[in-house]
Amino acid sequence: MMKTHCDASCQKAFVVESFKTVKLKDGIDKQCFNCPHCQHEYVNFYRDAEIRKLQGRIRRVQRRFSDPNDNHEDAARKEAELRAMIKEKMDALRVQIEGGAAHE
């Protein structure tokens, strides 16, 4: 759960109890939530098949941390690289879908 406030029209505080995933065209999905007061939609991110594949790779790299014999420094470097790639691709996908500059 996450506490936030609506920066749209109502300005009311609320707790985000769950996120919803909406399937869009071309295998793209959108994770979002709505203000319970004014129903303004907030998009967390968009994700396509390539991003989902990178997220799977990050999960595999993260499993390396539970192995005491693995090179954790290398795993951390690979995880950081994958996170940067995912962010870049998510930002580009947001611009493609919403137009304009990517939102933070």
**35-91 pLDDT tens trace:** 999 999 999 999 999 999 999 999 999 999 999 999 999 999 999 999 999 999 999
The residue range of the domain holding 79 is 48-104
Residues 53 and 99 reside in one and the same domain: yes
pTM of the predicted protein model: 0.82
DSSP string, 4-61: EE--SSS--EEEE---EEEE-GGG-EEEEEE-TTT--EEEEEEE-HHHHHHHHHHHHH
Give how many domains the chain has, as a whole number. Answer: 2
Residues 59 and 102 reside in one and the same domain: yes
Residues 25 and 57 reside in one and the same domain: no
Which of 11, 32, 47 is where one domain is finished?
47
Residues 98 and 52 reside in one and the same domain: yes
